[in-house]
Chain A
Amino acid sequence: MRSSALDKGLRTGVIFGIVIAIMFLIGFTVTGAGLVGKLFGVSSSYNTPPLTFFVIFMVLMGAWAGITAAARSLTEPDTLKRALTAGASAGAVSGLISAVVGFIFGTLNANAIDPRTYLPMVSPESTKLFLMNQSPLTGSLMLLGVLTVSGAAAAGLSFYLRTHDGVKSGARNITESVRKTIRSEGVARVTNSPYARYGFWLLVAALLIILPRTWGGYWNYVFGTVGIYIILGLGLNIITGWAGQLVIGYVAFFAVGAYTFALLTAPEPHNLTMNFWLALGLGVLAAGISGLLIGLPILNLRGDYLAIVTLGFAEIVRILLKSDLMTEYTAGPRGVRDIAGPTLFGRSFVSDVDFMYLIIIAVLVVTFIAYRLQNSRTGKAWYAINLDETVARATGINAFASKLLALSLSAAMAGLAGVLFASRNQFTGPDDHALMVSINVICLVIVGGIGNIPGVFLGAFALKGLPEILRETENYRLLIFGVLLIVMMRLRPEGFLPAKRPVLEKSAQTSSKEAQP
């Protein structure tokens, strides 16, 4: 059966070789090496990272290929020879492909031909790094060597870990004992005791109070944005996650909130300069009412009308705000400037720290409302409509009124997010309210796990926080998004933190299948 191990290894190697080649062609090898450097605490956002980190990156790729190949060729009996064959062949083939690519571009560079006309990311520096600062031939051979050795070594190591009893039972013992400790009564008493919970929440509260003061304006900006998107996500989750009505143009309500607030507080174009809190209330109210008005004519219809109508509404709002026609009322394409910040007892709170606190408070309030709604009678009615509108109506639920309430609550929360957004930036313009905002909110709700409140937090962090933390990958944001979505659909089709019900259903289904004769 040696041939099948070789076969699997070669196939795996081809896949990894192509992946490495593409990474090189789009310049990701440099980024990857930079990320490795970041792991070691060496930041090098704008320079070519040191060679060591690139070699580590390649070793990791080779190891990944080797482990994958060894796992794919796994049969009984498991032998070291098979694992090594698979790992080494996978590493060698991927190395060969990389070497050929490196050699071609290295030669082009040596002959002063610039491939950037066609492949803008293949700079001489990145080619040089790919060839480990060597001549094309030596560099290619070194790539081949690094990948082959790391593939074989990783496969051998994975074999050792898999079969070696000492390691196996050792690992099992550790996981067992950890599990036992977690489940033991003593720990349970501690985690279940009210004091532990108070302690945990005290810690969270302390972090929420201390962090905005200590981590600086940049992180306040990043996490302020995350907070605003959490509010948007919780709002959309009401109408789409719970009541099951898809809203695509959610940004429209965000825009209504932001502009209502902006026009009421900014010196231009109306010179109203209203009190912050009053304007905040009016912004939320205006967004809620706009949701109500949009819902009135269409929510007694079923199907995807709401999605289409809100999509159209969002575009109409954006285009109206942008048009010269409305300049007199909405300041037109250049947007509204000098929007007011919060004031309290005559003092003004406009620093980044103050805004962070304001956003944290708003997120807490909205989260509290969301939890109350979820467990309320209204929440149950929404869920019933989501599952089967006919039956819901037959049990006495006023489907139209319930959906209308859900939509205007959603819209009001979007309005709150819009107010905070406009006030923090002291500016809002038509481009802040493009359709991409809606798409982002839908994405974060789905990625986090539709219908689940903690899922919204995770989704907002993953979509709005992570890209800032991983600044190096900026150019590859869409690529990483795509990979993330594919991985998610394969591994967690219901989102990273799915709402509890679907999981329950799955396990209940299997058990009932087993129970039936």
Chain B
Amino acid sequence: MMLHVENLQVYYGAIHALKGVSFHLDKGEVVALIGANGAGKSTVLKTISGLLRPREGSVTFEGQVLEEVPPQDIVRKGVIHVPEGRKIFPRMTVTENLEMGAYIHADRAAINRDMESVFERFPRLKERRNQLGGTLSGGEQQMLAIGRGLMAHPSLLLLDEPSMGLSPLLVEQIFDIIQDINEQGTSILLVEQNAQMALAIADRAYVLETGKIVMQGTGDDLLQDSSVIEAYLGGH
């Protein structure tokens, strides 16, 4: 088991956001967390990457306990969080954004190699490498955010709503890329509202509702499940 989350309890002040979330992820898997707005999906990712602290429960990554580790050290363990809303550094160029992704690495030559491979994966970014991040289109910004995550050499990539606000064609492209990243050996924990797409590429998935996991199964199982279809897939 690569990642093990056990009975996570997270509060925003008095608001009880996660009420005992438990799940796991095996090496090489794509695991999806789906659910409506406010279900607590992003909160789970922020807690794993250390941006939030759980009041109770534990996060274990490759046998090491994460919930007391500061975020900058979690990044160094290979758990990379790509926050939601295409969060890039708007006033840095594409190249500078990618360099920030490799902040934890020092080897200049390796960084340049990594950047070339990101550019290979995202040719659009190479065309715009001297443009400021804030001037890119929505899809390009999402690619940049993912590319920046890859620069850190993730063994587990936490993706928060990569499809948010993108056109259907771009969503498909982004999901192809996610699958491709996974096939090259990176495990992926994917948070999505676009349940259809997420379940299609996920090995396993969990359904989150108001801070609790209410259902789990393989991606295909959940795609067939009538209550999931009803709630998340615009059911018939």
Contact = CB atoms under 8 A, between A and B. Distances in A.
Interface of A: 377, 380-381, 383-384, 387-388, 390-398, 501-502, 504-505, 508-509, 512, 516
Contact of A501 (B49, B83, B132): B132
Contacts of A501: 91-92, 132
B175 interface: no
A396 B91 contact: no
Interface stretch (B96-104, B205-213, B219-227): B96-104
Contacts of B99: 380
A395 B134 contact: no
B135 A509 contact: yes
Given A505-B134, A508-B132, A387 B92 contact: yes
A501 B130 CA distance: 12
A291 to B, nearest CB: 22
A390 B148 contact: no
Please indicate which of the listed interface residues A384, A388, A508 has the most CB atoms of chain B within 10 Å of its own CB.
A508
Given A384-B100, A397-B103, A398-B70, A504 B87 contact: no
Interface string B62-86: 0000000011100110001111000
A388 B87 contact: yes
B100 A380 contact: yes
Given A391-B87, A505-B134, A396 B76 contact: yes
Contacts of A384: 89, 92, 100, 103
A512 B131 contact: yes
A394 B75 contact: yes
Contacts of B100: 380, 384, 392, 395
B91 A502 contact: yes
A514 to B, nearest CB: 11
Main SS at interface, chain A? helix
A392 B100 CA distance: 8
A393 B72 contact: yes
Interface residues of B, number: 31
A393 B87 contact: no
B88 interface: yes
A508 B129 CA distance: 12
A395 B103 contact: yes
Given A384-B89, A395-B75, A395-B104, 8 more contacts: A380-B99, A384-B100, A390-B83, A394-B49, A395-B103, A505-B134, A508-B132, A512-B131
Contacts of A387: 89-92
B92 A395 contact: no
Nearest to B140: A512
Contacts of B132: 501, 504-505, 508-509
A289 B161 CA distance: 43
Interface of B: 49, 51, 70-72, 75-76, 80-83, 87-92, 96, 99-101, 103-104, 131-132, 134-137, 148, 152
Given A384-B100, A387-B90, A394 B71 contact: yes
B72 A390 contact: no
B68 to A, nearest CB: 15
B91 A505 contact: yes
Nearest to B106: A377
A383 B92 contact: yes
Nearest to B145: A391
Contacts of B82: 394
- Most B CB within 10 A of own CB, among A380, A384, A394: A394
A505 B135 CA distance: 7
Contacts of B89: 383-384, 387-388, 391
Contacts of A509: 132, 134-135
Contact of B51 (A380, A394, A396, A397): A394
Contacts of A381: 103
Contact of B71 (A393, A512, A516): A393
B49 to A, nearest CB: 6
A512 B89 CA distance: 17
8 contacts: A387-B91, A394-B49, A394-B51, A394-B75, A395-B103, A396-B76, A398-B70, A501-B92
A516 B92 CA distance: 21
Nearest to B148: A395
A507 to B, nearest CB: 9
A-B CB proximity, top 5 nearest: A396-B75, A396-B104, A398-B72, A387-B89, A508-B135
Nearest to A381: B103
A516 B137 contact: yes
B88 A512 contact: no
A393 B91 CA distance: 17
A381 B92 CA distance: 12
